[in-house]
Amino acid sequence: MELGLNGRTVLVTGASGGMGREIATAFGAEGAAVVIGYRSRPEDAAHTAGLVEAAGGRALTAPYGLGEPDTARSLVDAALHWTGRVDVLVNNAFRAFGFRPPGDRFEEVGDDWQGKLRDNIEGAVELTRLVAPLMRERGWGRIVHLSSSLVTEGVLETDAGRIGAEYYAAAKAALHGFSRSTAFSLGRDGDILSNVVVPGLTRTFRNEERMANSFGVAERYAARAPLGRLLDAAEVARVVLFLASAANTAITGQSITASGGA
């Protein structure tokens, strides 16, 4: 299937991490110019260098942090300076909460829950606001937001979960409403589609150790899936790739679950 991504410019946030890395690599393999947004940390240099190579060498790295509006503008400006356009936005970056043991109470969480709640929704909204005029001008664009199955499944007390996951789920649920509404307003001005991909618990190169210390969450989640296993990040990336492609002409304003049926 021809995806029509060759020569398109794609912004992927959180692209030095597990899910984002696979997403950016998938776009690069289709001939897209990939702008890799990443939070500046010492270990990111090696990851982003490898990612540029994996994306066929046609990739640009730029610092980006949720809750840092200046970096959102800089990320878009970097893309415009490089290729003069932004065709696709993938909002993948997120601020995570750590695992918690069973029995902890969400109202006792003090791990900057207000800041993380705001950043996990406001960061995606800010970037969407910045790229929307560019997509309207060209009459074409694709926006894909990465969410979480916590929105629909909830945080199960028997499965432990993450510290503050209730607040993370609230932010992601808001993202669903935002994407649904912007699909209507953007769709009036061209072939501009907005969707949400909802991964379940997914294997990435960065979270293997965390899942091993997650009080059996990964095993119980896999047991609930018809496939009997967790998906890996590359499998979720292929869902994102299609929704963000020219081959997708019919799906917009939707939340697509990619969890292996769990």
Residues assigned a catalytic role? 148, 168, 172
Q: How far apart are the first and last CA of the chain?
A: 28
Separation between Cα atoms, residue 125 and residue 1, nearest integer Å: 31
Count of C-beta atoms within a 10 Å radius of residue 45: 13
Q: Is the dihedral of CA 63, 69, 70, 74 positive or negative?
A: positive
Closest to 96 measured CA to CA, from 240, 243, 206, 260:
206
Task: Give how far Cα 23 sits from Cα of 36, 68, 145, 146, Å.
Answer: 10, 22, 12, 11
Separation between Cα atoms, residue 143 and residue 135, nearest integer Å: 10
Q: Are 261 and 227 in contact (CB under 8 A)?
A: yes
Question: Which 3 state secondary structure label does DSSP give 245?
Answer: coil
Q: Are 144 and 244 in contact (CB under 8 A)?
A: yes
Q: What residue has token string 């918690």? A: 100
Q: Are 158 and 210 in contact (CB under 8 A)?
A: no
Q: What are phi and psi of 189, to 5 degrees?
A: -110, 15
* Angle, helix 165-187 to helix 113-138, in steps of 10 degrees: 20
Separation between Cα atoms, residue 12 and residue 35, nearest integer Å: 6
